[in-house]
A and B are shown apart, each in its own frame.
Chain A
């Protein structure tokens, strides 16, 4: 009975995480399609570009919902770890994003500001903050 309960809880946690991974992968693929499709696969400014963008936004909304459900499936410590990591990520993203934008406007950096770099920074920050927070409560 107890082993069955543990197996069910583990299965639930794994399936939530698997679902999140699948939706994240799907969002990345549809984003790549919407971003590079007009230059690599079809002409820019066509209906198919709008369709690809619409699919990407729809999958993105699905990803947000799945992520919210994933957070709800965690226990209170795991949720705190995620919340701490998201707080750090938001702070770093806001400060770095504003500084980067200001630097671009003031012609302090050679190239125009690329928002993709900010997303990379936020992704890496989230990963590192999650690892650090997990270590704190190990």
Chain B
């Protein structure tokens, strides 16, 4: 699963620590999600999408779904 977390965060001039604070998680968790090392749970993914005022599928992209739609 890919995500646009880093881009969206940088557009708002937020640091990883800022986003972590807003989402109620550690900076390490935000970094791991941004670098694709960790996929967040559904509640956290929704929380992050809400923070950016976007839908969850506008922040997180399912690689398999996009592959299937391209076929």
Contact = CB atoms under 8 A, between A and B. Distances in A.
Interface centre among A9, A76, A77, A80 (most CB of B within 10 A): A77
Contact of B21 (A6, A77, A78, A134): A6
Given A2-B18, A6-B21, A9-B21, A76 B41 contact: yes
B7 interface: no
A137 B38 contact: yes
Contacts, number: 36
A6 B31 CA distance: 17
Interface residues of B, number: 16
A76 B18 contact: no
Grouping DSSP codes into helix (H, G, I), strand (E, B) and loop, the A interface class, with mixed when no group exceeds half, is: helix
5 smallest A-B Cβ distances: which pairs? A77-B29, A75-B25, A137-B32, A6-B21, A75-B29
Interface of A: 2, 5-6, 9, 75-78, 80, 134, 136-138
Given A78-B28, A137-B38, 17 more contacts: A2-B18, A2-B21, A5-B21, A6-B17, A9-B24, A75-B24, A75-B25, A75-B26, A75-B29, A76-B25, A76-B40, A76-B44, A77-B25, A134-B28, A137-B31, A137-B32, A137-B37
